[in-house]
């Protein structure tokens, strides 16, 4: 069987594919934040025993999915490349440092801290939904420093927790440059791919990536992302409610992860 050839049980393979599809569906439906569910799904649904292996595996999937979505946005001209490359370049160093620190932290303590971040981000996303940015922007002396410092901070958090960090990167790009939401979402994918690559590479050097599971997660993410995008098109008028519902869902998952981590 394919699952045995990949070194996984049939249940793990199916759950990995399903979990990836759930993350992809969330990303396609609400346009960001879905990757924060990857680690909890790998730990509590797929059954990855090591939180560190779950982080390393999710980082691979997040980076590859970001590249696919980046190509789609680039073809439509939504990406602000100069701003994105400055932010991503600084963030790569931050992600490497953050992931190095994350590997040294106890797995359950890391999950607890991750849960607190989920709750904070869920609440922040709920409060900021529907906001608009300014018009055209480009790299300048005025926004270069904010882009560098914002990239370092977002990269460090992304690497430490093993997440794509789009929910951190998008508001950081908007604050640093004033770019509108669509451009910020598209441009953030440059950094999501960069941060994910740094984190995945760092964890891979320590043997903390389950490559077959990552491949299934990416495949599921592609299938789920397509379904989510189709659903988003049909539910465009309810986008604000969808964003609010997803933000509250992230808070609830964070509460669950925190409870599990503290009770171990």
Q: Tell me: the pLDDT tens digits for 121-161?
A: 778 767 766 555 565 788 888 899 999 999 999 899 889 98
Q: What percent of the chain has pLDDT over 90?
A: 35
Give the 3-state secondary structure of residue 32.
coil
pLDDT of residue 14: 93
CA pair distance 207, 79, nearest whole angstrom = 34
CA pair distance 32, 107, nearest whole angstrom = 26
Q: Minimum mean pLDDT among 17-31, 92-106, 183-197, 250-264: which range?
A: 17-31
Backbone angles phi, psi at 138, to 5 degrees: -155, 165
pLDDT of residue 146: 94
Q: How far is CA 13 from CA 26, 38, 203, in A?
A: 20, 15, 21
Q: Tell me: the pLDDT tens digits for 85-98?
A: 999 999 999 999 99
CA pair distance 243, 128, nearest whole angstrom = 10
Domain boundary assignment for the chain: 10-263
Structure tokens at 197: 């690559």
CA pair distance 230, 217, nearest whole angstrom = 20
- Each as own residue / partner, the long-range contacts of residues 99-102 (CB below 8 Å, 24 or more positions apart, any chain) are 99/55, 99/59, 99/159, 99/160, 99/162, 99/198, 99/199, 99/202, 99/203, 100/159, 100/202, 101/159, 101/160, 102/52, 102/55, 102/159, 102/160, 102/161, 102/162
pTM assigned to the model: 0.81
């Amino acid at each position: 069987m394919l699952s045995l050839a990949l070194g996984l049980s049939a249940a793990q393979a199916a759950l990995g594919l399903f979990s990836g599809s759930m993350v992809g569906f969330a990303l396609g439906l609400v346009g960001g934040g879905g990757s924060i569910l990857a680690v909890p799904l790998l730990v509590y649904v797929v059954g990855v025993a090591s939180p560190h292996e779950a982080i390393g595996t999710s980082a691979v999937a997040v980076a590859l999915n970001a590249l696919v979505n980046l190509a789609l946005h680039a073809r439509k001209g939504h990406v602000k490349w100069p701003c994105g490359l400055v932010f991503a370049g600084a963030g790569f160093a931050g992600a490497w440092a953050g992931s190095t620190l994350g590997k040294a932290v106890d797995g359950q303590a890391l999950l607890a801290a991750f849960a607190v971040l989920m709750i904070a981000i869920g609440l922040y996303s709920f409060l900021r939904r529907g906001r608009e940015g300014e018009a055209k922007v480009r790299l300048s002396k005025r926004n270069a420093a904010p882009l560098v410092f914002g990239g370092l901070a977002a990269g460090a958090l992304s690497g430490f927790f093993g997440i794509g960090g789009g929910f951190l990167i998008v508001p950081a790009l908007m604050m640093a440059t004033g770019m509108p939401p669509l451009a910020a979402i598209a441009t953030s994918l440059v950094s999501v791919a960069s941060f994910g690559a740094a984190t995945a590479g760092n964890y891979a050097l320590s043997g903390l990536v389950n490559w077959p599971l990552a491949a299934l997660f990416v495949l599921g993410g592609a299938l789920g992302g397509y379904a989510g995008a189709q659903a988003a098109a049909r539910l465009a008028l309810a986008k604000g409610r969808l964003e609010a519902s997803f933000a509250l869902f992230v808070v609830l998952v964070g509460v669950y992860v925190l409870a599990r981590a503290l009770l171990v």
